């Protein structure tokens, strides 16, 4: 692994189904983030984690949950998907969430909820 990876690349999901988007980084970054990107809108922060074992809510957390059991992994779960969650999801990481640090992005997951 080099950098930050996400899986799956894309997914079509029926409304009401549960879905986990996976994110793994090998840069030993402390901070990790989940964003959604919708046409005409900026990246919006869903949840973040400044270090393993801690998580926080971003701008649009409703309907999503995260966990940070270790440094490398930061999965995002949609407990019961709804069509408004159709979006492109980006995971990102940075060295230290408490100071300036460039954020590195994964390739994204394109999710369609029908």
Partner 1 sequence: GQNIDQPTEMTATEGAIVQINCTYQTSGFNGLFWYQQHAGEAPTFLSYNVLDGLEEKGRFSSFLSRSKGYSYLLLKELQMKDSASYLCASIDSNYQLIWGAGTKLIIKP
Contacts with partner 1, residue ranges (CB under 8 A): 35, 40-45, 48, 58, 90, 97-100, 102-108
3-state DSSP of the chain:
CCCEEEECCEEEECCCCCEEEEEEECCCCCEEEEEEECCCCCCEEEEEECCCCCCEECCCCCCEEECCCCCCECCEEECCCCHHHCEEEEEEEECCCCCCCCCEECCCEEEEEC
- Cβ 63 to partner 1, closest distance in Å? 20
Nearest CB to partner 1, comparing residues 76 and 108: 108
- Cβ 98 to partner 1, closest distance in Å? 6
Nearest CB to partner 1, comparing residues 1 and 40: 40
- Cβ 94 to partner 1, closest distance in Å? 9
Nearest CB to partner 1, comparing residues 14 and 100: 100
- Cβ 65 to partner 1, closest distance in Å? 19
Nearest CB to partner 1, comparing residues 14 and 99: 99
> Do residues 88 and 43 lie in contact, with contact meaning Cβ atoms separated by under 8 Å?
no
Strands 109-113 and 10-13: parallel
């Amino acid at each position: 692994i080099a950098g930050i990876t996400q899986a799956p690349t894309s997914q079509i999901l029926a409304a009401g189904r549960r879905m986990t988007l996976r994110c793994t980084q090998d840069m030993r970054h402390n901070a990790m983030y989940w964003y959604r990107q919708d046409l005409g809108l900026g990246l919006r922060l869903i949840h973040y984690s400044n270090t393993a074992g801690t998580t926080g809510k971003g701008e649009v957390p409703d309907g999503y949950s995260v966990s940070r059991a270790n440094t490398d992994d930061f999965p995002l779960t949609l407990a019961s998907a709804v069509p408004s969650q159709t979006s492109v999801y980006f995971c990102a990481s940075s060295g230290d969430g408490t100071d300036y640090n460039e954020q590195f992005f994964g390739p994204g997951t394109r999710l369609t909820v029908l």
